[in-house]
């Protein structure tokens, strides 16, 4: 048995049947990380010693049978088989972890150790899940290829010369390379779904407000959302069960009854109404990507879903809106990095203003500076109405267009990324071209709705192609079931594996 | 309309960032490219639509006004780049 190839729900079963201990699982992952990290470069920090130490304690608890009491979740409608004790996880490096560095892959936070846990990290720890480490990303989650990391380059496990996507590129690459069983990412404009698509794994961006953002280092607060990156859809539902829920520390989180997302996986889409917006399958989308999407549509028809073409002309407006709103919010959010209370401080300074300017100029990378400047520009007097105000109105327009679609359809089906993974270095010098890589994903964040990315095939070079299923607000159950049913039919994981090839 | 060098330097100053002479041209080109792209919004049928300010409709979210002491003050202070007698140390503000 190859432990690291198993999904989380398979690992749960092995622990329950006493075929595996959590030590054996975590040790297998540490060995795998040590074997593959030099090729993939997914980790900013590997938390080997602490993970091993924790897992020994967890095994003792499991052995003594005390686990059920200590991990009981209050919400009584959560199935107790959803027990994750002893199953390790990887965390994107913009989620605060008490005692482990949280760098956001930035020089400015290179040595930052958060004094508290993000709410999602607290939840993971209370499930008694050991943390394998912190995963690489584009600096402050700004990017679509993880090349903007100030720490290292992450390589796509399906072809090491290609990018893993971004910004959660470390998380997606680590899951694809079996270096973690699953991971947490964050998604502001596609940062969970696009790397999941490029790495052939599953990524879910929940509805804005379903998961607490407390302790997620803020990029664009009205768009950011934490979500799972996993090997399959069931694992995504399992991890969503852990992280979803109201948190009084995040005033934008929703207070509503907790659901069991695993129960929503029915393996049945008969009568499900799927709309395919024709604008998302236009000229800018690679032919091989389109062909796989059309195959997926046929599969859904075979499975009994009602699929029809529809019109949702928002992608370009949403992308323009996104870069205005996200940069504006970032320019404000990143004002806190001033070299005073934490983070990088420049040497050789004259006065306080000089300290701010030098620390920020030396601490931030190019893309971050570019976005702060763009964001400050669109918020500055004289340009506010022309850009920021217009973008906020366009945001209303995008939301309304989605509302109209969800009167007719349960799910919308689109590509995730216009192409499969591109080469490392290919788009790095052209920011606008890089931004266009987000054309299919940003409108979902602008409209605050949930979407899942799942693999639907590979191109002629063997690179994975992703499909995006979008649902109405808080309809995660619908898109998870639609994704699960498709996955059970095409069995992507059984037919395709990353090759770690290199030219 | 393109961004002028003066505007760029003004914005950089507001952002507490320094743009070196050698970088000005690159920044201006990148900004122009992006601002050019977002012009597409001029065609968007947004007429008299309201602005969307937040991502959801939660308003006036309150919690009980209770003092909760933060239990990891050392963890907080350990991140400070300059510290003296458990206080943040910064350059002189008044010369």
Preferred mutation among B55, B70, B76, B88 to probe A, highest tally of A CBs within 10 A:
B55
State the Cα–Cα distance between residues A322 and A344, nearest whole angstrom. Answer: 29
Query: Which band of pLDDT confidence, cut at 50, 70 and 90, is reported for residue A201?
Result: very high
Beta-carbon separation of A393 and B46 below 8 A: yes
DSSP string, A117-130: --HHHHHHHHTTPP
CA distance B64 to chain A (A): 10
Enumerate the residues of chain B whose CB falls inside 8 A of the CB of residue A344: 81
**Residue A69: pLDDT over 70:** no
Q: What is the pLDDT, as a whole number, of residue A423?
A: 97
Beta-carbon separation of B18 and A394 below 8 A: no
Residue B29 lies in a domain: yes
Residue B11 lies in a domain: yes
- The per-residue pLDDT for range A259-313, each reduced to its tens digit, is 999 999 999 999 999 999 999 999 899 999 999 999 999 999 999 999 999 999 9
Q: What is the pLDDT, as a whole number, of residue A334?
A: 98
> Of A44-48, A343-347, A447-451, B58-62, which gets the smallest average pLDDT?
B58-62
Domain that holds residue B28: 5-43
Query: Which band of pLDDT confidence, cut at 50, 70 and 90, is reported for residue A72?
Result: very low
pLDDT above 70 as % of chain A: 96
The number of domains in chain B is 1
Enumerate the residues of chain A whose CB falls inside 8 A of the CB of residue B42: 390
- What is the enclosing helix (H) or strand (E) of A307? strand A306-310
Query: Which band of pLDDT confidence, cut at 50, 70 and 90, is reported for residue A63?
Result: confident
Query: Which band of pLDDT confidence, cut at 50, 70 and 90, is reported for residue B54?
Result: confident
What domains appear along chain A, each with residue ranges and CATH number?
A: 3-263 (3.90.1300.10)
Q: What is the pLDDT, as a whole number, of residue A60?
A: 87
Choose the closest CB to A431 out of B11, B34, B90: B34
Q: What is the pLDDT, as a whole number, of residue A358?
A: 97
**Residue A80: pLDDT over 50:** no
Q: What is the pLDDT, as a whole number, of residue A140?
A: 98
State the Cα–Cα distance between residues A110 and A97, nearest whole angstrom. Answer: 14
Residue B14 lies in a domain: yes
Q: What is the pLDDT, as a whole number, of residue A75?
A: 41
Query: Which band of pLDDT confidence, cut at 50, 70 and 90, is reported for residue A65?
Result: low
Q: For all residues of chain A together, what is the average pLDDT?
A: 95
DSSP string, chain B: ----HHHHHHHHHHTT----HHHHHHHHHHHHHHHHHHGGGGGS--TTPPP--SSS---S----------S-HHHHHTT-SSEETTEE----S--
- Residue A230 CA: distances (Å) to CA of A172, A185, A453: 8, 10, 10
Residue B39 lies in a domain: yes
Dihedral sign for Cα atoms in the order B42, B44, B50, B52: negative
Q: What is the pLDDT, as a whole number, of residue A81?
A: 52
> Of A101-105, B16-20, B62-66, B69-73, which gets the smallest average pLDDT?
B62-66
Enumerate the residues of chain B whose CB falls inside 8 A of the CB of residue A324: 38, 41
- The per-residue pLDDT for range A317-364, each reduced to its tens digit, is 999 999 999 999 999 999 999 999 999 999 999 999 999 999 999 999
Residue B22 lies in a domain: yes
**Residue A175: pLDDT over 60:** yes
């Amino acid at each position: 048995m190859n432990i690291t190839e198993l999904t989380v729900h398979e690992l749960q079963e092995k622990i329950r049947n006493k075929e595996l201990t959590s030590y054996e699982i975590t040790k297998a992952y540490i060995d795998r990380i040590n074997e593959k990290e030099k090729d993939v470069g997914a980790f900013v920090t590997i938390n080997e010693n602490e993970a091993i130490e924790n897992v020994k304690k967890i095994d003792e608890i499991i052995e003594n049978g005390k686990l059920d009491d200590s991990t009981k979740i209050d919400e009584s409608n959560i199935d107790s088989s959803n027990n994750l004790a002893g199953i390790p996880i990887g965390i994107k490096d913009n989620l605060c972890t008490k005692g482990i560095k949280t760098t956001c892959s930035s020089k400015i936070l290179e040595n930052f150790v958060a004094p508290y846990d993000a709410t999602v990290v607290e939840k993971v720890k209370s499930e008694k899940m050991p943390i394998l480490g912190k995963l690489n990303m584009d600096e402050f989650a700004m990017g679509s290829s993880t090349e903007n990391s100030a720490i290292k380059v992450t390589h796509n496990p399906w072809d090491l010369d290609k990018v893993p996507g971004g910004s959660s590129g470390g998380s997606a690459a680590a899951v694809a390379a079996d270096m973690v069983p699953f991971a947490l990412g964050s998604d502001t404009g596609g940062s969970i779904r696009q790397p999941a698509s490029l790495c052939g794994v599953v990524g879910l961006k929940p509805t804005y407000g379903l998961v607490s953002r407390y302790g997620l280092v803020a990029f664009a607060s009205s768009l950011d959302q934490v979500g799972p990156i996993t090997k399959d859809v069931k694992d995504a539902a399992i991890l969503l069960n852990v992280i979803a829920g109201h948190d009084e520390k995040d005033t934008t989180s929703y207070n509503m009854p907790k659901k069991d997302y695993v129960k929503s996986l029915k393996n049945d889409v008969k009568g499900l109404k799927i709309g395919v917006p024709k604008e998302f399958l236009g000229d800018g989308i690679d032919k091989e990507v389109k062909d796989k999407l059309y195959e997926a549509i046929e599969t859904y028809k075979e499975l009994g879903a009602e699929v029809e073409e529809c019109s949702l002309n928002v992608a370009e407006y949403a992308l323009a809106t996104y870069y205005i709103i996200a940069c504006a919010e970032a320019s404000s959010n990143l004002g806190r990095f001033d070299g005073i209370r934490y983070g990088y401080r420049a040497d050789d300074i004259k006065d306080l203003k000089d300290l701010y300017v030098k620390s920020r100029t030396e601490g931030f990378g190019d893309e971050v500076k570019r976005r702060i400047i763009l964001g400050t520009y669109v918020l500055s007097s004289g340009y506010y109405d022309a850009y920021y105000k217009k973008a906020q109105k366009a945001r209303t327009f995008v939301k309304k267009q989605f509302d109209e679609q969800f009167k007719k359809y349960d799910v919308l089906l689109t590509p995730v990324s216009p192409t499969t993974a591109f080469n490392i270095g290919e788009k790095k010098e052209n920011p606008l071209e890089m931004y266009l890589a987000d054309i299919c994903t940003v409108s979902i964040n602008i409209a605050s709705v949930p979407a899942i990315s799942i693999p639907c095939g590979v191109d002629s070079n063997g690179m994975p192609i992703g499909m995006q299923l979008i649902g109405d607000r808080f309809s995660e159950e619908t898109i998870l079931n639609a994704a699960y049913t498709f996955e059970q039919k095409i069995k992507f994981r059984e037919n395709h594996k990353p090759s770690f090839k290199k030219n | 309309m393109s961004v002028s060098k003066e505007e760029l330097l003004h914005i950089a100053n507001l952002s507490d960032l320094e743009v070196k002479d050698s970088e000005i041209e690159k920044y201006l080109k990148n900004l122009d490219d992006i601002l050019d792209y977002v012009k597409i919004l001029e065609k968007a049928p947004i007429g008299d639509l309201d602005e969307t300010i937040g991502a959801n409709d939660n308003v006036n979210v309150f919690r009980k006004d209770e003092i909760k002491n933060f239990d990891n003050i050392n963890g907080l202070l350990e991140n400070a780049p300059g510290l003296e007698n458990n206080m943040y140390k910064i350059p002189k503000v008044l010369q």
